[in-house]
Amino acid sequence: MGSHTEILQHSGQRAIVNFDRYNHLADEDAQLRIVKAREQLGKRAVLLCHHYQRADVYRHADITGDSLKLSRLASQSDAEFIVFCGVHFMAEVADILSRPEQISILPDLAAGCSMADMASLAKVERCWREIGEVLNPDEHFTPVTYINSAADLKAFCGEHGGTVCTSSNATKILEWSFARRDKVLFFPDQHLGRWSGHKMDIPLEQMLVWDPDLEMGGLTPAQIRNARILLWKGHCSVHQMFQPAHILRFRNQYPDGLVISHPECSFEVCQQSDFIGSTETILRTVKDAAPGTRWLVGTELNLVERLAEEVKAEGKIVQFMSPTVCMCSTMQRIDPQHLAWTLENLAAGNVVNRISVPPHEAALAKVALQRMLDAS
């Protein structure tokens, strides 16, 4: 949907509503209207905010956390509407894991994920066929998709004996995968796959990048046979901004400082960090650290700024790793105006921007997700 005309759906009825008047709404007015609409909705709606969400939206959250945690908690709530302030794949996971009567909503359908977009079902299916020219993929490869991917890729993994992983359980999921087949196709983030394989002592030369824009991924049959992990050529646009030079500069200035990075960062950044972990791990590690410590953090800006404020009273100093401001620009699209528009329509009986995964696809994706939950 664009920002000018939006389609509303409720109980089979359709109406057209112009979004322009919300687009020009002052932030302060939008905030007041959000509060009023939430009061009208009460417990009928639960508002989820990912850690990377902008502060003027995050302040309204009922539940905060990473994407999987949010979806699982929302599915356990009594809410009729799950309003996900995150990105598209997160709202899809919420729809897959929620009860049939719950409705998953994304306030702005343009809130996508550039990493997730780097692996499409068509490209993954082509990859599977090309691997099949060398080895039977259903005998030799376990497909593993990072949770930061579209529902149809999770369904692909469900159908082909594969599973899903998160940034916190990726190594455990690789262990599960290798117990079943001798190789793994890991998508869409090469960096998470490489670091997780490295933690299992898999040599870098046995973790090769599959370029979906090249025939046979740019690899020879011999390379495919010898590889243990094929890493999809994908990355997070935020985490690729962090460089080893940023860590070196910090260590030269603050020899006692500590560095913590997300595993979506490059292998070189992870190697030079003191700690590696998911968003939840980063938050917990810094909060549990001794007072007066100084941290360089390699993950999204909104999370880092919020964390810095939370631990300031303990004398802890938290710095953003990159000298260049970089945040999740697509998640940033969910602003107070879109949230006000979404909630006011819900209060008026109109469901907007519903995210609904087709039943067959959802069933297969749920199989892949359940395999992950069982394994981890």
Task: Kindly state whether residues 144 and 60 are assigned to the same domain.
Answer: no
Asked whether residue 366 is domain-assigned, the answer is no
Q: Are residues 155 and 231 in the same domain?
A: yes
By C-alpha distance, which of 344, 89, 83 is closest to 236?
Answer: 89
Tell me, yes or no, whether 200 and 163 share the same domain.
yes
Residues 272 and 306 in one domain: yes
What's the CA gap between 228 and 244, in Å, rounded?
27
Kindly state whether residue 371 falls inside one of the protein's structural domains: no
Q: How far is the C-alpha of 231 from the C-alpha of 208, rounded, in Å?
A: 6
Sheet of 275-276: strands edge to edge?
275-276, 258-261, 294-298, 317-320
Residue 86 belongs to a domain: yes
Are both 303 and 341 inside the same structural domain?
A: no
Within this chain, do residues 90 and 139 fall inside the same structural domain, yes or no?
no
Domain finish residue from 188, 219, 237: 237
Choose the final residue of a domain: 176, 209, 237.
Answer: 237
CA distance 143 to 368: 10
Q: What is the pLDDT of residue 231?
A: 98
**185 occurs within a structural domain:** yes
In a domain, 367, yes or no: no
Same domain, 298 and 352: no
Residue 305 inside a domain? The answer is yes
Q: 250 and 292: one domain? A: yes
Residue 12 has a pLDDT of 38
* pTM score, whole prediction: 0.90
Residue-range definition of the domain harbouring residue 199: 116-237
3-class state of residue 210 by DSSP = strand
In the chain, how many domains are there?
A: 3
- CB-side exposure of 256: number of CA atoms within 13 Å? 6
350 domain residue, yes or no: yes
Please check whether residues 132 and 171 belong to one and the same domain: yes
What is the per-residue pLDDT for 1? Answer: 34
Q: Chunk the chain into consecutive blocks of 10 residues (it has 376) and report each block's average pLDDT, rounded to whole numbers.
A: 39 49 88 96 95 91 89 91 93 94 94 88 98 98 96 98 96 98 98 98 98 98 98 92 96 98 97 96 97 96 94 97 72 88 93 95 97 93
User: Is the distance from CB of 313 to CB of 294 less than 8 angstroms?
Assistant: no
Q: Are 354 and 80 spatial neighbours (Cβ–Cβ below 8 Å)?
A: no
Residues 25 and 105 reside in one and the same domain: yes
Residue 190 lies in a domain: yes
What's the 3-state SS for 139-200? HHEEEEEECCCCHHHHHHHHHCCCEEECCCCHHHHHHHHHCCCCEEEEECCHHHHHHHHHHC
Do 11 and 105 sit in the same domain of this protein?
yes
101 touches 75 (CB < 8 A):
no
The CATH number given to whatever domain includes residue 133 is 3.40.50
Query: Can you give the pLDDT at residue 116?
Result: 87
Quote the CA–CA distance of 73 and 280 in Å, as a whole number: 15
End-of-domain residue from the set 218, 237, 256: 237
User: Does 248 share its domain with 305?
Assistant: yes
Q: CATH no. for residue 68? A: 3.40.50.10800
